[in-house]
Structure 1
């Protein structure tokens, strides 16, 4: 029985966000069988009352923890943006990015390398923020142009930084995946490796703060972008795939080919939708020795079906729902487009989803996204696994996805739920990286035997 158009409009317009995947962690709590019910609080209305704009501002502000944004610059930029207006968002963040790109250029020309580096890191973040809402028109040239500005400005900052790094190309099928390999030093000493990957909408330059924290603790760090992400979707036009084991396998193959990697200690950390992608890869990759699902995601279709059933009348199985979506039903697309016209977050989610999955309609996007499932697969993960959830994560209300993943693991496992007592309850702890990195890296260090010196040498 297919759901009625009225039911779709009622349910999808209010519940579409909860499927992106979630994850965030609670510090100092024992892992419960399931996370506590999320309080009614949501992302704070910081400058914006629009939830999606407020959240993306919070995400940009989070980069201030690592010196890759500054609070005053962000708030001043946000104050000039028209609420809910994607063009205004692009124009103001791009203007700010151009300003600090120029500051970096002038500082470098005057011989002030540190000032230039810091300005470049901030400008790279602001370019990345500017590009975020442009994907409603995949042919918009500003998508690649602004992304390229962000990447090149970031690389200009890296070139001035003290941390050793390489820009790497990871063999993958008939092409390569872009990556950065950061090292503790130039010695070439084999060290434990931390692989960090992004999720639904990130670029790997946003992972730089994670790499910096890993280096501090003695890890060499590899970040990369796969199908549907960063350069791979924008330039190579390769969309997302659900069978991420076919991505992680080549990434690990590359890693173990390097003499500076301890192949017996390789950790994998997936951010946001990476909380599905990384576990999917680890289930098929025995060389992964520790896994962080940040935020844990079990089955995208489960949440979509639950949303449709909430109002009653969607008497379908997940398979039936996916088969129906694959017919590209007009009533589903009309309902989604109506919801997109009235809600910024629903609009962004579906526009970016169609962009990253190379889908021609909302229904086609959701049919492909429903393939993202760990049903019957989570049990195959063998390495110690940390599943993260946030008590006020609006992308995973009540920690449903994180709990489902945790409950289906048969390996050594821990569920960490960040409370919002000190602002850490949101998606991936944006805005509370001090608490986030402390808790997650402490768990990882214990599992990876990194409890000795700060250099990671025992």
Structure 2
């Protein structure tokens, strides 16, 4: 085992009865090692019943933390509030910018480490963290809803383990989406190519997190400068992953409406569904924003293209596939589907994180440090 150069809290906490709230609280607490944040969230949790409740409470916690000069907590509370703000609310972008500023200040990230890479009608957003005598370069990106700045503690841990880290936001993510209106695309090899070209990189490890677990498979299939692949999220069919919690009868009804081009009926269905399910309400609203879709029907048409069945056999690299036992976003069968379809890889290491490890939830929230250990050990071993 490598010697740890980082420290993340271990444990999954039942802070709130609603899974969408509870996951986000655990998610942002997991990026700190500050027990006071957990205590503060547990104290306000009983009063949180709606998104406005949550937003107001977390803004208050952020302001209180900032008054105490606790910049990381202030940033994460702010991000927690911003996460559930309506995409059309003009304050959302203000909160996002303040979060980015605070977290960069906390970690001492300077302008020399930040890059804007020309891409189509805008720019990709990237950072580079390089140690002395790096073992190699790892290029990292997120997925459906993250900002790359959220991953700073993880990225800096990877750097401190000896790797040159290039991390970026592509179309549909962070700055490219919010500042330049670049929507999410399926052809992820395009932004990856732009990044590799800009930094003149070859022989890299490419890592995608959450939905990035699908995007990294797609990119690696067509970009052969990628020699090692880490999919932290085994997504083979994004549409079915996003709606796997919907009962089968309802799911079949949605499929039939898509096949018969019943746009109006589908829009009505999702309007009703979002009234009943907070997680679905957030997921659909966020998804339409990310993909630049004008309707639910258009949004589903876009995400139904995110399927790896015919792409996975194209990979010839070394692959580390990571999944979580009780992931509430990604059904576990997609982990095994991905294993079965990676038929031509040089090597395949599949790692399922479990409840016994406190890493059973999406992106291993509850034991992020363990996931970094696994990645570093795999990289060190595969390079020998």
For structure 2, the residue ranges without an aligned partner over 5 or more in a row are 1-10
Matched, 1:300 2:238: yes
Matches within 5 A, 1:164-183: 166-183=113-130
Matched, 1:143 2:92: yes
SS at match of 1:421: helix
CA separation of 1:210 and 1:47: change in aligned 2, threshold 3 A: closer
Q: TM-score with structure 1 length normalisation?
A: 0.75
Q: TM-score with structure 2 length normalisation?
A: 0.89
SS at match of 1:250: helix
Matches within 5 A, 1:36-435: 46-65=14-33, 70-81=34-45, 82-104=47-69, 119-135=70-86, 138-159=87-108, 166-185=113-132, 191-256=135-200, 263-264=202-203, 266-303=204-241, 310-311=248-249, 314=252, 322-324=258-260, 327=261, 329-397=263-331, 399-409=332-342, 410-411=344-345, 412-435=347-370
Q: Distance in 2 between matches of 1:366 and 1:184?
A: 42
SS at match of 2:124: strand
Cα deviation for residue 223 of structure 1 reads 1.0
CA separation of 1:232 and 1:435: change in aligned 2, threshold 3 A: same
User: What's the Cα RMSD here?
Assistant: 2.6
CA separation of 1:102 and 1:307: change in aligned 2, threshold 3 A: closer
CA separation of 1:197 and 1:312: change in aligned 2, threshold 3 A: closer
Given that 1:393 and 1:425 are in contact with CA atoms closer than 8 Å, whether structure 2 keeps it comes out as yes
Given that 1:215 and 1:221 are in contact with CA atoms closer than 8 Å, whether structure 2 keeps it comes out as yes
Given that 1:47 and 1:75 are in contact with CA atoms closer than 8 Å, whether structure 2 keeps it comes out as no
Bigger-Rg structure (1/2): 1
Deviation per CA, 1:414-435, whole angstroms, max 9, x where unpaired?
Answer: 2110111131111111011122
Given that 1:177 and 1:226 are in contact with CA atoms closer than 8 Å, whether structure 2 keeps it comes out as yes
Cα deviation for residue 122 of structure 1 reads 2.5
SS at match of 1:99: helix
Cα deviation for residue 210 of structure 1 reads 2.1
CA separation of 1:349 and 1:361: change in aligned 2, threshold 3 A: same
Cα deviation for residue 174 of structure 1 reads 3.7
Q: Distance in 1 between matches of 2:17 and 2:243?
A: 29
CA separation of 1:400 and 1:169: change in aligned 2, threshold 3 A: same
The count of corresponding residues between Structure 1 and Structure 2 is 371
Q: Distance in 2 between matches of 1:381 and 1:46?
A: 39
For structure 1, the residue ranges without an aligned partner over 5 or more in a row are 1-42, 105-118, 258-262, 450-458
Given that 1:390 and 1:429 are in contact with CA atoms closer than 8 Å, whether structure 2 keeps it comes out as yes
SS at match of 1:290: strand
